Amino acid sequence: MSHKSDVLDKAKSLIEKIFDLTNELSFTGLAEDDEKEVNAYAALMEERQPLVDELMKLKESIDSEMAASEEFAGIKKTLLELDELDKAHMAYIQTMRETVKDAYKVVKQGQRIHDGYTSLPPGYESQRLDVKQ
């Protein structure tokens, strides 16, 4: 097996592994699963990173002849599928982020309203000066 074939085989193997890991992640959209799903997404990104780094190193070894091969075309097809999965995951994560951001705004607004209607801060006791001496 030639060096060129080895590089493409390794790249294909890495891409397929990254794709499989990414494809295993699914989101339910249920509020009670939000924390678990965000943690799963973060774990996926962490697990994928070394594979992506290795793939980027291999990319430097791919010349124009290798890039024109049928095997490389298969790798590109898998990359496009992976990109679509990543876009769907990012859209979901962005939606979650916006939901959390909106909930935080409501909490902060509630705190400001509470503070506005509470004359003294919690734990603060009123003190008066005796001016009738």
Could you give the 3-state DSSP secondary structure of residue 62? Answer: coil
The backbone torsions φ and ψ at residue 129, rounded to the nearest 5 degrees and listed phi first, read -90, 140
| Residue whose tokens read 């999965």 | 85
Task: Provide the pLDDT confidence category of residue 112 given band limits of 50, 70 and 90.
Answer: confident
- pLDDT for position 124: 61
Residues in CB range of 93: below 8 A, 6 or more apart: 38, 41
- Tens digits of per-residue pLDDT, 51-80? 999 999 988 888 888 888 899 999 999 999
| Mean pLDDT to the nearest integer, 22-30 | 90
- pLDDT for position 60: 87
